[in-house]
A and B are shown apart, each in its own frame.
Chain A
Amino acid sequence: MTPILELNNIRGGYGTIDVLHGVNLKLEAGQVHALLGPNGAGKTTTLGVCSGQIVPSGGQLLISGREVNGVSSDALARAGVCLVPEGRGIFPNLTVTENLRMFTHAGVSFADIQENAFRQFPRLQERRKQIAGTMSGGEQQMLAMSRALAVNPSLLLLDELSMGLAPLIVEELYERVAELAAEGISILVVEQFAQAVLGVSTVASIMLHGRITRTGPPAEIAEELTEAYLGGTTH
Chain B
Amino acid sequence: MSNTETTPSARLQEFQGEVDAMKVDGGKANPERTWLILGSLLMIAGIVLSLIAWLTLQGSGKGAKTEDLIAMGTFGLVLAVVGAALFIVMSLRRYFRFWLVRLIFEQREAADRIAGK
Contacts and interface: CB of A to CB of B under 8 A. Distances in A.
B23 A71 contact: yes
B7 A112 contact: no
Nearest to B26: A70
B59 to A, nearest CB: 43
Contacts of A75: 22-23
A108 B1 contact: yes
B58 interface: no
Interface string A64-91: 1011111100011011100000010000
Interface stretch (B43-51, B69-77, B78-86, B107-115): B107-115
A154 B24 contact: no
A56 B29 CA distance: 6
B60 interface: no
B117 A150 contact: no
Given A58-B29, A71-B23, A134-B115, 12 more contacts: A15-B33, A29-B12, A64-B16, A64-B19, A71-B22, A75-B23, A78-B1, A79-B18, A80-B18, A107-B1, A113-B3, A133-B111
A183 B8 CA distance: 7
Given A79-B18, A107-B1, A152 B11 contact: yes
A109 B23 CA distance: 25
By size class, the interface of chain A is 35 or more
Contact of B27 (A64, A71, A78, A107): A71
Interface size class of B (residues with CB under 8 A): 20 to 34
B11 A69 contact: no
A137 B24 CA distance: 37
Given A30-B8, A55-B28, A71-B27, A66 B115 contact: no
B24 A79 contact: no
B94 interface: yes
Nearest to B110: A92
A135 B18 CA distance: 36
A62 to B, nearest CB: 10
A63 B26 contact: no
